[in-house]
Amino acid sequence: MVTLKGEQIYLRALEQKDLDFLYALENDTDVWEVSGTVTPYSKDVLQLYLDSAHRDIYDVKQLRLVICSQEHQALGLIDVFDFEPNHNRAGIGIVILDKNQRNKGVGAEAITLLCNYLFEVLGLRQVYANILEENAPSLHLFKKLGFEEIGIKKDWVRFKDTYKNEILLQKINS
């Protein structure tokens, strides 16, 4: 049986009460480099996003879940993007907003729960992640969870006046 609940955290759909959390996360300039964001989001725009967040993954080809502590505190987000049901694959990304919650197993548990859901419920064959070459903790995390490095996209991400390499990692459900 697949569950979106682990020992430390659980994953849930976005709710209206997440507006302030989403606003803080999306406007945290420390996250912009990995999210591709270049301008701030208003609460009005984020509210419109929340209003449509219930749409089906097969319709919008993406899914965003909130990573919550067992005490129901929102810790971060985990995303499914580029969902391709015909090819049984999708990309995943994760961000933990509170830096004090990083490197405590939260990300590993969230990725494991999401992969189990994607493989067992949605029947995906593979998932992938794009991680900046300099993001050693994230690369270590994904590799520890069975993702394999399959390529380097050179000078792929421009942030300020610098171009950075992005590593492509893939996990195939065998």
Predicted local confidence at residue 39, as pLDDT = 82
Sign of CA dihedral 135, 138, 141, 147: negative
Copy the structure tokens of residue 32. Answer: 């912009």
Using a 10 angstrom Cβ sphere, with 0-12 exposed, 13-18 middle and 19 or more buried, the burial of residue 75 is buried
Q: What is the mean pLDDT of the chain?
A: 91
Sheet holding 63-69, edge to edge: 9-13, 63-69, 74-84, 89-96, 126-132, 162-172, 148-159
Domain boundaries in the chain?
A: 9-125
* Residue 1 scores a pLDDT above 70: no
User: What is the phi/psi pair of residue 115, to 5°?
Assistant: -60, -40
Average pLDDT on 153-172 reads 93
Average pLDDT on 96-114 reads 91
Copy the structure tokens of residue 61. Answer: 């080809």
Give the residue among 130, 97, 91, 93 at the shortest CA–CA distance from 22.
Answer: 97
* Residue 170 scores a pLDDT above 90: yes
Predicted local confidence at residue 5, as pLDDT = 95
Fold observed for domain 9-125: Aminopeptidase (3.40.630)
pLDDT 10s digits, 22-52: 888 888 878 777 777 778 888 898 888 888 8
pLDDT 10s digits, 125-150: 999 999 999 999 999 999 999 999 99
Measured CA to CA, the distance from residue 16 to residue 66 in angstroms comes to: 12
Out of 1-10, 28-37, 86-95, 119-128, pick the least confident: 28-37
